[in-house]
Amino acid sequence: MLEMPSAVIDPRRTAEPSGAPDEARLIARIIHRDRRAFEDLYRLYHPRLTRFLRNVVRRPAIAEEVLDDTLMVVWDQAERYNGQCKVSTWIFAIAYRKGLNARRREDEPIEDRDAELRPSDAPGPELQFDRAQVRQNLMSALDQLSSDHRTVVDLTYFHEMGYREIAQIMDCPVDTVKTRMFHARRRLKRALDGPLADWL
Amino acid sequence: MAKIIALRDTPHQAVEALLPWYVGGTLDADDRAAVEAHLQACPDCQAALNLERRLCLEVAALPSDGRPDWSRLQRRMAGRAVRRRASGAFAGMAGAWRAAPSWLGWALAAQAALLAVFGALALPVSSPAYHALSAPPAPLVGNIIVIFRPETRERDLRAALLTNHARLVDGPTASDAYVLNTPAAERAAILTRLRARADVVLAEPINAGATP
């Protein structure tokens, strides 16, 4: 079977809510062991879950393993989706739980809590940032965040999820989501524009 | 882990905390109204909103690699389907075992001993002559389950397999059954022949070859 090039699917554009009814229909077909529906769901979610799980666990091979484990749960237990949340919330919550289990087997780097107290490594405002520089700084800053902080950032900015949905996925209070985002943004903004942009 | 801080001490802080989701358009109506009302009067939050939009765009644009590998997941699905069918067949066998004559019970130990000899003889047969390094051989898939009478001698057991072109895949199970691989096209005939043997208590198909 031909592999669909990943570039064909823009994960942000296939995000719910516009895709929600279609995804619910896919789940209904998967309950009846429709392999084609499952393949469609797999291709829809692979890019999204890949990105998400790379923030939960660091090693790409483990992220792939967790991704497959997650989708096998969907295949085997699709009837457990009760329609009371979005399909994406249900699937991401499964992925997150499995990611947490896998993370315990990894050597998770300890969050650098003092990073924000030190002078930023980013060039000052006198230097014009080019895009590659910004990207590099952001990736570096994301790397210094804890998995939980990275996950909240990714679910908010890339997957365009609300804080309540994120709290459901991560099984935590909404204030925890907001707090994680608050700390993460402070770090990331320093990476974006240097110390003078850190107005917080 | 960063400590939880109070983000609702002032309206300004509460709104500032909501800006990421305001930019993403995921706030509910009440939150959105509160943010928009505050933005009208707060130059700091207006500036923060601009930076927030830029941060959101930059983070969302960060590269993410990883290509789908549907065939890998298909292999897992196939493996699971075979295991599920085999498990179902074993459950059916358990019922047959409960209905079997009581004389079968005493002979479990004897047949286990038989297996040790039988297994030693059968294993080399199931090993291919060579392995290509890049293409491991596909595992044998069972498509028949059979139970022999406990007094069956090893050479009769072996003859039953050889004459029917059957290979041992697994066994004895908890029900003292053996899982056999036989040529798919001959399975029905082989089942008939096995059931006709005096030393066979039970022979049943496993539908492992079917597409789920």
Domain ranges of chain B: 11-60, 81-127+139-205
Q: Which residue from B minimizes the CA distance to A114?
A: B2
Name the H helices within B100-198.
103-106, 108-126, 154-163, 187-196
**Amino acid in position B47:** A
Higher pLDDT, B173 or B129: B173
Name the 3-class secondary structure at B148.
Answer: strand
Give me the pLDDT at residue B151, please.
73
Q: What is the pLDDT of residues B168-199, one digit of tens each?
A: 887 776 556 788 888 888 898 999 899 888 88
**Could you give the CA distance from residue A17 to residue A23 in angstroms, rounded to a whole number?**
10
**Structural domains in chain A, sorted by start:** 14-105 (1.10.1740.10), 122-192 (1.10.10.10)
- Using a CB-CB cut-off of 8 Å, the residues of chain B touching A6 are 66-68
What is residue A196's predicted lDDT score, i.e. its pLDDT?
A: 40
B212 vs A32: CA distance, rounded Å: 11
Residues recorded for chain B: 212
- How close are the terminal C-alpha atoms of chain B, in Å? 46
- Name the residue among B58, B61, B76 with its Cβ closest to that of A68: B76
Tokens in use for A112?
Answer: 């650098």
Q: Average pLDDT of chain B?
A: 74
Residue A198 sits at φ, ψ, to 5 deg, of: -85, 80
Which residue has tokens 């003889």? B121
Chain B's closest residue to A66, CA to CA, is: B73
Write down the pLDDT at residue A164: 96
Whether the full predicted model's pTM is greater than 0.80, yes or no, is: no
Q: Which long-range contacts (CB under 8 A, 24 or more apart) does A22-30 make?
A: A23/A86, A23/A87, A23/A88, A24/A83, A24/A87, A26/A87, A27/A74, A27/A78, A27/A81, A27/A87, A30/A74, A30/A75, A30/A78
Instruction: Using DSSP bridges, classify how beta strands B144-148 and B200-205 pair: parallel, antiparallel or unpaired.
Output: antiparallel
Cβ contact B60–A12 (<8 Å): yes
CA dihedral A140, A142, A144, A145 (to 10 degrees): 170
The whole-number pLDDT of residue B8 equals 55
Predicted local distance difference test score (pLDDT) of residue A107? 62
Distances (CA, A) of B185 to A102, B104, B165: 44, 32, 12
| Contact by Cβ (8 Å): A44, A19 | yes
Which among B19, B32, B59 is the top mutation candidate for probing chain A, defined by the most A β-carbons within 10 Å of its own β-carbon? B59
List the one residue out of A55, A41, A29 whose CA is nearest residue A147. A55
- Those residues of chain A that have pLDDT short of 70 are 1-21, 106-130, 193-200
Q: Which residue in this structure is represented by tokens 């491991």?
A: B136
- Can you give the pLDDT at residue B137? 54
Q: How far apart are the first and last CA of chain A?
A: 52
Rounded (10°) CA dihedral A123, A125, A127, A129? 80
Q: Is B48 on the interface with A (CB under 8 A)?
A: yes
Question: Which one of A1, A135, A199 has the shortest CB-CB distance to B62?
Answer: A135
Does pLDDT of B107 surpass 90?
A: no
pLDDT of residue B113: 52
Q: Which residue of B has its CA nearest to A63?
A: B66
pLDDT of residue A1: 33
Q: Structure tokens of A151?
A: 């996950």
| pLDDT level of residue B68 (50, 70, 90 thresholds) | confident
Mean pLDDT of B47-70: 87
Q: Determine contact, residues A152/A76, Cβ cutoff 8 Å.
A: no
A114 CA: distance to closest CA in chain B (Å)? 11
Reply yes or no on whether the pLDDT at B75 is more than 70.
Answer: yes
B134 pLDDT exceeds 60? no
Which tens digits make up the pLDDT trace of B136-152? 556 678 888 888 877 77
